[in-house]
């Protein structure tokens, strides 16, 4: 029954249904790719940083780098960039990690622009179908008058079907876009927190060594 409805929705919506369905396919492909990316990069950030801080506290920098390579997540790549430059001052060290974070952020923001575009244009495409459907209805009215409801049904159904299809695709696409954007924001916050945490730890170690030497 549902398949019959979807087929009827597509065939009755007119030419505008083609770009709407195309947006649906592209949006679904993007969402599947994003879900796979987030699934592959699941990690316990607090536990990861606990291992890193323990290794650095023991001045076992090779072990710290090994933990990053084994984790192999965007956050781990940012921290690895910091471990490679522990000889820098605090601000310079933070700059190095923020630069690497910009590279890793692109992985989180991949295709988000396309998903946002789909969320924006599909309701507009539906509205376009509504307008063209109503134009068809008025054209029929001007030809045969309003005495034949069947003659008007085609244009009216085209208008309603495209509106429904545009909303049915646009609303989930908007939800998916916001969800993906929240993942990017979460990553950015983690990078800022843990980068600063690492820089502060290294600075504290240097101060401690200077006091011990004195």
| Whole-number pLDDT of residue 163 | 84
Nearest CA-CA partner of 151 in 163, 136, 164, 162: 136
CB neighbour list of residue 101: distance below 8 Å, 6 or more residues apart: 78, 188, 191, 195
Report field, pTM of the whole predicted structure over 0.85: no
Range of the domain at 157: 2-213
**Total domains in the fold of the chain:** 1
Tokens 């929705």 belong to which residue? 9
Least confident of 18-22, 134-138, 202-206: 134-138
> How far from 183 is each of 34, 84, 187, CA to CA, in Å?
10, 27, 6
Phi, psi (deg, nearest 5) at residue 53: -65, -35
Distance CA 167, CA 173 (A): 10
Q: What is the 8-class DSSP label of residue 89?
A: -
Distance CA 76, CA 100 (A): 10
- Ramachandran sector of residue 42 (left: φ over 0; alpha: ψ -120 to 50; beta: rest): beta
Three-class SS of residue 143?
helix
At 117, the pLDDT band (50, 70, 90 cuts) reads very high
For the chain, what is the mean pLDDT? 81
For residue range 35-68, list pLDDT tens digits in order.
999 888 877 888 888 898 888 888 888 898 998 8
């Amino acid at each position: 029954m549902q398949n019959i409805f979807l087929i009827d929705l597509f065939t009755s919506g007119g030419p505008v249904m083609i770009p709407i369905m195309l947006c649906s396919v592209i949006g679904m492909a993007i969402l599947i790719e994003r879900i796979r990316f987030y699934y592959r990069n699941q990690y316990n950030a607090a536990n990861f940083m606990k291992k890193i801080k323990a290794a650095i506290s023991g001045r076992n920098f090779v072990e710290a780098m090994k933990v990053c390579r084994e984790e192999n997540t965007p956050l781990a790549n940012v921290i690895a960039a910091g471990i490679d430059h522990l000889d820098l001052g605090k601000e310079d060290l933070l700059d190095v990690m923020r630069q690497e974070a910009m590279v890793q952020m692109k992985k989180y923001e991949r295709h988000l622009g396309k998903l946002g575009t789909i969320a924006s244009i599909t309701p507009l495409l539906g509205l376009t179908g509504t307008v063209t459907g109503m134009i068809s209805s008025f054209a029929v009215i001007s030809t045969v008058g309003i005495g034949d409801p069947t003659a008007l049904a085609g244009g009216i159904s085209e208008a309603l079907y495209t509106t429904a299809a545009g909303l049915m695709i646009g609303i989930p696409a908007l939800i998916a876009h916001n969800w993906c954007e929240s993942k990017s924001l979460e990553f950015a916050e983690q990078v800022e927190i843990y980068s600063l945490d690492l820089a502060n730890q290294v600075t504290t170690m240097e101060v401690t060594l200077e006091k011990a030497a004195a």
